[in-house]
Amino acid sequence: MDVEVLRYADLAAAVLGRPARLGPVRLVAVDGPSGGGKTTFAGRLAGAVRSAGASAVVVNTDDLLDGWNDMLTFWPRLERWVLGPLRAGVPGAYRRYDWYAEEFRSGWEPVPVSDVLVLEGVTSARRVIRADLTFLVWVTAPRAERFARSLARDGAHTRDALLAWTRAEDAHFAGDGTESAAEVVINGVVSELLSDPEAEVLGVISGSTDLTR
């Protein structure tokens, strides 16, 4: 397998060089299993887009889930609150889920119409949205490393829920073919180790890809 080292700026330029497909918005989905490094990647990509002079917003799908059992079924909420309005060229908004209180907060998080929307989270690149995507990125890491990172992030008390979540995401990805549809595949652990935010170094990309198409 070929391995390349690119810059966040390269990927940002590729995204901005492609047409918007979600109305006036270029939608970038950052998908992959839990604990792979999607959130870090999404934030740095959005920063690179802004450094290129364009506007970018990040939406984390975890903020729209109604708890651990909502991995797949939250999508109508995302469509109604965020994707549908942006597709129509008007701002969206969503209520953020509070994982400690186990309920949605009363306030609304605005989602303006931007040049780029980075949608980050498990199932964010599901087949139903692919026609609207400008770019699809898959971020992963070795399973044991991913689970350890997720457990450290969410707490030891979530172990059983994380195990069930892992089984559910495995089943979803196997049926959805997400990784094979991705244009860029990243080892999130190695990428974070190599990343240099000032130099906008992206890190390791597995598999060759033509960012200009």
The structural domains of the chain, with segments of one domain joined by +, span: 3-206
On whether the CB atoms of residues 202 and 188 are closer than 8 A, the answer is no
pLDDT, position 208:
43
Q: Which residues of the chain have pLDDT under 50?
A: 1-2, 193, 198-199, 207-209
Q: Going by DSSP bridges, is the β-strand pair 103-104/97-98 parallel, antiparallel, or unpaired?
A: antiparallel
pLDDT at 199: 47
What pLDDT score does 204 carry? 52
Over residues 33-88, the pLDDT tens digits come to 988 889 989 999 999 999 999 999 999 999 999 999 999 999 999 999 999 999 99
Token pair 């909502």 is found at: 70
Sign (positive/negative) of CA torsion 83, 84, 89, 95?
negative
Distances (CA, A) of 207 to 23, 163, 204: 30, 29, 10
Longest dimension (CA), the chain: 48
Residue 185 has a pLDDT of 86
With b meaning 16 or more CB within 10 Å and e meaning fewer, what string describes 174-206? Answer: eebebbebbbbbbbbbbbbeebeeeebbbbbbb
186: its two tokens: 């990243």
Closest listed residue to residue 202, CA positions, set 46, 17, 45: 45
pLDDT of res. 6: 73
- Which tokens sit at 124? 């964010």
d(CA 62, CA 162): 13
CA distance 79 to 82: 6
Residue 37 is inside which H or E element, if any? none
Fold of 3-206: Rossmann fold (3.40.50)
Amino acid at 138: W
